[in-house]
């Protein structure tokens, strides 16, 4: 389906086609398979390839508009959860946005770089103990959750999402992708701050959440509280990356690192990739988007 999708993009937006062609230059077979799985899931949900292409282009239109706003104003359009709540209630927006964002996980080179660090994270925390927990905050499109379920052996997988629509979509995607009736997972439609977790997780994942919240430090503090010294944490976010529902602006990578420091989380490994294959230095200088991901652990008390 990727070939048909790209052909439609080429006929509707040559510039987006050129961007994708460049971005897909180093896609691996495994990543291509995951992308095809996502196309098939969307088709199973009743979308034609033409609709998917149009929804993806709408998503890139939102991106274009916000990028222009950001270049001119040096800030994101919105800065509070109240302002963006109306977007989350807009079915058409959410549909285009979720589909576009999901596809971008594998279509965009930047997102694939982060997925590579995520896979490294999983390979280091396989979770072979009898009572072990994988815990994900804001599983969104479900790619991380499914990848974790396929590649690790935790005894339980829990995802928590404040958005009912998002939680439902994640459940559907998991059921579709795994094609087996596994009983070891749960997606909860709850607020992370109201949720009393019964067991301390062995792995905590929070992909692209910090930029969507007013007070990202509070999320990191709570992650610290629910972690043990052995818990391994994967967190990704974005720097200078305008999207309609991004409300917290990280101006550079050091701001993200300093926030981890404040939350007493220690960086073990990280990846950063600028859009359009630019160097990190150039992206910081020109204030263009950089995506970043970190593997972390709780800082020991005496540090």
- Which residues lie near other proteins (CB under 8 A)? 13-16, 18-19, 22, 60-61, 64-65, 67-68, 71-72, 275-276, 288
Comparison of 226 and 239: residue with beta carbon closer to other proteins: 239
Comparison of 41 and 70: residue with beta carbon closer to other proteins: 70
Minimum CB separation of residue 28 from other proteins in Å reads 22
Structure tokens, 109? 């080179």
Q: How far is CA 101 from CA 104, 215, 266, 296, 298, in A?
A: 5, 23, 29, 25, 30
Minimum CB separation of residue 14 from other proteins in Å reads 5
Minimum CB separation of residue 249 from other proteins in Å reads 18
Minimum CB separation of residue 67 from other proteins in Å reads 5
Q: How far is CA 137 from CA 51, 140, 182, 220, 268, in A?
A: 30, 9, 20, 11, 20
Structure tokens, 258? 């300093």
- The Cα angle at residue 164 between residues 158 and 165, in degrees rounded to 5: 110
Q: How far is CA 151 from CA 61, 123, 127, 275, in A?
A: 35, 8, 10, 28
Comparison of 122 and 244: residue with beta carbon closer to other proteins: 244
Comparison of 15 and 178: residue with beta carbon closer to other proteins: 15
Minimum CB separation of residue 17 from other proteins in Å reads 8
Minimum CB separation of residue 186 from other proteins in Å reads 39
Q: How far apart are CA 174 and CA 142, in angstroms?
A: 7
Lookup result for tokens 């590649």: 151
Q: How far apart are CA 187 and CA 173, in angstroms?
A: 11
Q: Using an 8 Å Cβ cutoff, are 202 and 127 in contact?
A: yes
Comparison of 98 and 288: residue with beta carbon closer to other proteins: 288
Minimum CB separation of residue 157 from other proteins in Å reads 36
Comparison of 19 and 97: residue with beta carbon closer to other proteins: 19
> Where does 77-171 show beta strands of DSSP type E?
133-137, 156-160
Q: How far apart are CA 145 and CA 75, in angstroms?
A: 31
Comparison of 258 and 277: residue with beta carbon closer to other proteins: 277
Minimum CB separation of residue 117 from other proteins in Å reads 23
Q: How far is CA 243 from CA 178, 193, 200, 218, in A?
A: 30, 25, 33, 22
Q: How many CB atoms lie within 10 A of CB 30?
A: 11
Comparison of 13 and 189: residue with beta carbon closer to other proteins: 13
Structure tokens, 249? 């602006």
């Amino acid at each position: 389906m990727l070939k048909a999708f790209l052909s439609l993009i080429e006929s509707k937006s040559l510039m987006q086609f050129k961007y994708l062609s460049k971005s897909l230059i180093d896609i691996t077979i495994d990543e291509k398979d995951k992308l095809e799985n996502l196309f098939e899931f969307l088709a199973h949900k009743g979308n034609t390839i033409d609709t998917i292409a149009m929804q993806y282009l709408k998503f890139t239109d939102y991106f274009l508009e916000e990028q222009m706003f950001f270049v001119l104003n040096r800030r994101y359009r919105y800065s509070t959860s109240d302002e963006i709540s109306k977007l989350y209630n807009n079915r058409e927006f959410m549909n285009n946005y979720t589909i576009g964002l999901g596809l971008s996980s594998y279509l965009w080179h930047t997102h694939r770089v982060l997925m590579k660090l995520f896979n490294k994270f999983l390979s280091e925390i396989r979770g072979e103990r009898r009572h072990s927990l994988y815990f994900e905050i804001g599983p969104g499109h479900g790619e991380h959750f499914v990848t974790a379920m396929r590649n690790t052996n935790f005894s339980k997988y829990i995802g928590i999402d404040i958005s009912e629509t998002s939680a439902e979509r994640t459940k559907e995607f998991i059921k579709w992708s795994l094609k087996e009736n596994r009983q070891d997972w749960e997606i909860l439609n709850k607020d992370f701050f109201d949720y009393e977790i019964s067991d301390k997780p062995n792995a905590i994942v929070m992909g692209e959440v910090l930029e969507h919240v007013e007070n990202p430090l509070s999320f990191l503090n709570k992650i610290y509280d629910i972690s043990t010294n052995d818990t391994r944490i994967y967190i990704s976010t974005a720097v200078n990356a305008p999207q309609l529902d991004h409300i917290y602006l990280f101006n550079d990578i050091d701001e993200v690192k300093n926030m981890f420091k404040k939350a007493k989380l220690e960086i073990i490994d990280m990846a950063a990739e600028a859009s359009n294959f630019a160097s990190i230095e150039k992206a910081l200088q020109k204030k263009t988007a950089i995506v970043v991901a970190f593997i972390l652990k709780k800082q020991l008390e005496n540090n």
